[in-house]
Amino acid sequence: MVIKAKSINDIPIRLTDERWRHITDNHDDVAGYYDDVLKTIEEPDYIIKGYRDALVALKQIEGKFLAVIYKEVSSDDGFIITAYFTSRIKLEKEVIIWQR
């Protein structure tokens, strides 16, 4: 199954079952946060520049940031690459593309 969330640029971002399994296999602390991953795409606190045209949506949850890395490949398609929790983001050192 493919679930889509709309990015702040109104682009549908795909999250496939395969990708979700990959994320939770590598970041088991994210396993109970499926809806939060999608909500982070739709209602981020920040979007920062990622690596190689990727975007990083950030949402503060329980004192940490949920980081969702995704790509917008066209005006009507995008996909989630990975998601993880971090407390090590220093916003003053990042290129902030958008903030709430």
Is-above-0.85 flag for pTM? yes
Secondary structure (3-state) at 67? strand
Dihedral (Cα; 80, 84, 86, 91), 10-degree rounding: 0
Residue 89 has pLDDT above 90, yes or no: no
User: For the chain, which residues make up each domain, given as ranges?
Assistant: 2-99
Beta bridge partners, 80, equal 70
pLDDT tens per residue, range 38-64: 999 999 999 999 999 999 999 999 899
Q: What is the pLDDT of residue 51?
A: 92
Instruction: Give Cβ neighbours of residue 85 (< 8 Å, ≥ 6 apart).
Output: 27, 29, 30, 61, 64, 65, 66, 67
